[in-house]
A and B are shown apart, each in its own frame.
Chain A
Amino acid sequence: MAQSFLEQARVLDFIVHLQTRHTVYAPHRRGQRSFAFEKTSDPAAVELDYPRVLGSVKKYFLPPRETLMDFDLKTDTATAPQVEPVNAVFLGVHSYDLAAVKRLDHNFLTGKPERNYLVRRQGARFIGVSYVPDKFHFAGSVGIDPYDMTGSDVFLTRHPDGWIVDVLTGEGAALLQGFALPPHALPKPKREHFTQHIYVPQDSLGRILEASYDHPVWNETARSCLSCGTCNLVCPTCYCFNVEDQVAVTGDSGSRERSWDGCMLRGFTEVAGGEVFREKSAARQRHRIYRKFKYLSDATGQPWCVGCGRCTAACTAGISIVDIVNRLIRDAEREEKITA
């Protein structure tokens, strides 16, 4: 579809325009260097130039905590809760986070589709923005560049004077209706460069991981890993959850609640009697990395790490997913050279 141009000076008007018809969620500054997706009240507080939001938009479709059912203990009956559709515009989403939404869709909507997720997810519209990779991003290595418009209804590409606007879907066109923009014919800016890379094509990574099950890197990482689960918490494609019942203080009603869980936590695989199937931190780290680059990729044909760099940026022990994977690749190549 045609391109148009949004001058920097009109960005506020554009957000106001969106707000007349929709709730708008967008990146806001949270601290000196941190940003978060929040509901926009003041358009001036929106930051479209940002390196990374703390949590992704995942929290709107899979909330950190939500009710799966309410029950009445007097009558032993349960009812599904009313789930509110998100029905909003997500402005300023990076390409890797949109790729992550696609992966969440896969988990919750294929096989046996889940109602809670679907209801929330259905009304979401996305306005993507390009970004300049920082020292943690490596999305290019998993095939998602900063200008990738996949998943966006409208996409904004950074330009020195404002934003180049691509309208990609009918929904996107509807968002722009009533907000006239001049056409834009100039070529797009050059590709941004990533400083972080995984040095291997995705298709051979599965094979390399297959052969790296007993690699020393798992034990080495385990020495500094705190098993805190932060890397799971911040990951936009981690979807594992726990389920627990809550009983009201009156004792006659309650709810079944689900909350985010993480495979790096020791109790994740614990069963009654005390058996823990991934007892060692090394086994859990391997599981996390294999899920991102092998298990789920084998099953769905796409990497489940979208290269956002959050897990590395957030790890207090300084454990880097890129370093782990590159180490495996390097050693696999060295091995191949020796045996060749």
Chain B
Amino acid sequence: MELQILKPGLETRELYLPEMAEITAVRRLTEMETLYTVKMPGGRELGHQPGQFVEVSLFGVGEAPISISSSPTRHGEFEMGIRRVGMLTEVLAGYQPGRKIGIRGPFGNGIDVSKFRGKDVLIVAGGIGLVPMRSMINYVLDRRDEFGRLIICYGSRSDTELLFTDELAAWEKDPRVEYHVTVDRGSPDWRGRTGVITTLLPGLQLDLPNTVCCVCGPPVMYRFVVLTLRGKGLPDDNIYLSLERRMKCGVGKCGHCQINGSYVCQDGPVYHLPDIAKLREAL
């Protein structure tokens, strides 16, 4: 049988071999999360869009898909915010600057920034969902005049688990940012709002046709957030969701990341809501 789909001379890539990048800074965010700054070999730009991810590779441990948390507008290095939840992330938690880690990517379909340009940007982030959304937030902040309002709604289980507290404080003060935060359970000295993330949405005054929203959070969150946004009258066409599934390859081969017929590592992780509204496994 001839290999008809192959053209002669077609380059076959080493799909699974990572490049060796260097951790240049490590910053503890909370008990569970750490921010890693990483430099690609030769200081090469990663060349990503907000919302894309990389496969982080530790030899002898494995690989994990991790979102790129820094904005492509910040050059030279990139950042990842990682929660300690299992084998690889646990080992990584012990790593110090100077250590090498393997990186493949960037992978996936990120946020199409052109769809947000000139519009009011609404970011809804739950828990660790702030990590990938931070890439978009900083993108908007770095090119502030290309966008309308920047509204950030952030929900966390408790105030001790809030991520990037220095940046949160800066957003709170920044007149160019409308920042709202809520925690499910506050510690005794929490002065802010308590309640789940959907409680932040009803009070928002939105210029509906002119607002584009991106949502990222734990699996249980999406359905409620989408219902609430629809309830406010935001059209599906203005909603993007960043979804997470188990991944084993990142390049559309292993079959693990499927939501019905869609491969999250290829079509996602960022989806336009109308494209997945019919996918029963999506939300």
Residues on A close to B: CB < 8 A?
A: 68-69, 71-73, 76-80, 98, 101-102, 105-115, 118, 121-122, 124-126, 151-153, 169, 213, 239-245, 247, 254, 256, 261, 263, 268-273, 275, 277-278, 283, 287, 290-291, 294-296, 298-299
CB-CB contacts below 8 Å: B1-19 with A: 1-3, 5-6, 10-18
* 22 A-B interface contacts by CB (under 8 A): A76-B59, A80-B14, A102-B1, A106-B5, A112-B13, A112-B15, A112-B251, A113-B11, A115-B13, A239-B253, A240-B255, A242-B248, A243-B63, A243-B248, A245-B60, A254-B59, A261-B256, A268-B246, A268-B256, A269-B245, A269-B246, A298-B261
| B-side contacts of A254, CB under 8 Å | 59-60
What is the interface of chain B mostly: helix, strand, loop, or mixed? Answer: loop
Complex Cα–Cα for A278 and B256 (A): 11
**Once the chains bind, are B59 and A153 in contact (CB under 8 Å)?**
no
**Once the chains bind, are B260 and A290 in contact (CB under 8 Å)?**
yes
**Once the chains bind, are B14 and A126 in contact (CB under 8 Å)?**
no
Which residue of chain A has the shortest Cβ distance to B252 in the bound complex? Answer: A111
Question: What 1/0 flags go to B37-77 for Cβ under 8 Å of A?
Answer: 00000000000000000000001111100000000000000
**Once the chains bind, are A240 and B254 in contact (CB under 8 Å)?**
yes
**Once the chains bind, are A115 and B14 in contact (CB under 8 Å)?**
yes
Return A56 CB to nearest CB of chain B, in Å: 14
Which residue of chain A has the shortest Cβ distance to B11 in the bound complex? Answer: A113
Return B40 CB to nearest CB of chain A, in Å: 15
Task: Give the number of A-B contacts (CB < 8 Å).
Answer: 135
Return B104 CB to nearest CB of chain A, in Å: 11
**Once the chains bind, are A114 and B15 in contact (CB under 8 Å)?**
yes
Say yes or no: is B198 at the interface (Cβ < 8 Å to chain A).
no
Return A231 CB to nearest CB of chain B, in Å: 15
**Once the chains bind, are A277 and B60 in contact (CB under 8 Å)?**
no
**Once the chains bind, are B59 and A115 in contact (CB under 8 Å)?**
no
| B-side contacts of A106, CB under 8 Å | 5
Complex Cα–Cα for A213 and B261 (A): 13
- Beyond A69-B16, A77-B20, A115-B12, is A294–B246 a contact (Cβ under 8 Å)? no
Which residue of chain A has the shortest Cβ distance to B248 in the bound complex? Answer: A243
Partner pick for A272 among B5, B85, B255, CB 8 A cutoff? B85
Say yes or no: is B229 at the interface (Cβ < 8 Å to chain A).
no
Return B259 CB to nearest CB of chain A, in Å: 8
Complex Cα–Cα for A295 and B1 (A): 26
**Once the chains bind, are B255 and A110 in contact (CB under 8 Å)?**
no
- Beyond A101-B1, A241-B248, A278-B281, is A113–B16 a contact (Cβ under 8 Å)? no
Which residue of chain A has the shortest Cβ distance to B6 in the bound complex? Answer: A109
Return B253 CB to nearest CB of chain A, in Å: 6
Say yes or no: is B244 at the interface (Cβ < 8 Å to chain A).
yes
Return A213 CB to nearest CB of chain B, in Å: 6
Which residue of chain A has the shortest Cβ distance to B255 in the bound complex? Answer: A240
| A-side contacts of B261, CB under 8 Å | 290, 294-296, 298-299
Return B258 CB to nearest CB of chain A, in Å: 7
Say yes or no: is B175 at the interface (Cβ < 8 Å to chain A).
no
| A-side contacts of B258, CB under 8 Å | 287, 291, 295
| A-side contacts of B245, CB under 8 Å | 269, 271, 277
**Once the chains bind, are B3 and A105 in contact (CB under 8 Å)?**
yes
**Once the chains bind, are B255 and A263 in contact (CB under 8 Å)?**
yes
| A-side contacts of B253, CB under 8 Å | 107-108, 112, 114, 239, 241
